[in-house]
């Protein structure tokens, strides 16, 4: 069965970096694009962008360029989200979500990784 | 960007009664070449990640109870729960995947009356 397992919660200080992982199993990793979705505490869902798991080409939503980087390690079927120069407003749960292909719905979601930025 | 607006923001319905959530997009999400509406509905229970309920506006995901149904086309869509069960307490989101940035509605919190 399809599973997306994410890394555990992180507590970081402002200015630090964090790398969140999303390990996929139960399907061919490179056949399905992976999206990243942010959910601030008590708030709704915000699409950050997606990465083509076949080519490694990322697409970032406006507001998620510069400090946010999507990457892959296809040898271990894992997608990564790295955020640098963390700010308090980056405090959120970050979900990975599988997409069947570009411009499709998200059929499986990871449980989310809480990143807390606090001094 | 396509703005998705849900109504109401919150809803309280008695067990066994019908619940209706609306979603309006700022521009059409109907792709004329294949006559498909690029609209999905997700359910997020407290402390959990979102779960896909409906895609193509009206196609129920495998395993989703048939009390959940989706309807609408173009810019106006509805999620209906025909007979509310206790386990349906959640926040419901609509999402357009017609064009990037893929955007979500603000969410509708569904509670038991």
Does A103 score more than 80 pLDDT?
no
Touching A: B residues 66-105, CB under 8 Å? 93, 95, 97-105
Exposed e or buried b per residue across B11-49, where buried means at least 16 C-beta atoms within 10 angstroms of its C-beta:
bebeeeeebebbbbbeeebbeeeeebbbbbbbbbeeeeb
pLDDT tens-place string over residues B48-82: 999 999 999 999 999 999 999 999 999 999 999 99
pLDDT at residue A101 in the model: 83
Q: Mark yes or no for CB contact A111/B106 under 8 Å.
A: no
pLDDT tens-place string over residues A55-89: 999 999 999 999 999 999 999 999 999 999 999 99
pLDDT at residue A62 in the model: 95
Closest listed residue to residue A107, CA positions, set B29, B56, B107, B37:
B56
Length of chain B: 113
pLDDT tens-place string over residues A9-27: 999 999 999 999 999 999 9
- For B107, which of A44, A104, A106 is closest by C-beta distance? A44
Q: Mark yes or no for CB contact B49/A109 under 8 Å.
A: yes
């Amino acid at each position: 069965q399809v599973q997306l397992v994410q890394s555990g919660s992180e507590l970081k200080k402002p200015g630090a970096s964090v790398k969140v992982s999303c390990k996929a199993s139960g399907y061919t990793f490179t056949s399905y694009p992976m999206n990243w979705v942010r959910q601030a505490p008590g708030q709704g869902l915000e699409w950050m962008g997606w990465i083509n798991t076949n080519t490694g080409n990322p697409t970032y939503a406006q507001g998620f360029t510069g400090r946010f980087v999507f990457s892959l390690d296809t040898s271990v079927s894992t997608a990564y989200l790295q955020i640098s120069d963390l700010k308090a407003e980056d405090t959120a749960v970050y979900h990975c979500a599988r997409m069947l292909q570009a411009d499709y719905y998200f059929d499986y979601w990871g449980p989310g990784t809480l990143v807390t930025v606090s001094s | 960007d396509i703005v998705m607006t849900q109504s109401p923001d919150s809803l309280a319905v008695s067990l066994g009664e019908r619940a209706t959530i609306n979603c309006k997009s700022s521009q059409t999400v109907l792709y004329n070449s294949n006559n498909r509406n690029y609209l999905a509905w997700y359910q997020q229970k407290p402390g959990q990640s979102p779960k896909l309920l409906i895609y193509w506006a009206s196609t129920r995901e495998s395993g989703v109870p048939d009390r959940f149904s989706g309807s609408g086309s173009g810019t106006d869509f509805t999620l209906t729960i025909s007979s509310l069960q206790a386990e349906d307490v959640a926040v419901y989101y609509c999402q357009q995947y017609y064009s990037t940035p893929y955007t979500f509605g603000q969410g509708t919190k569904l509670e038991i009356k």
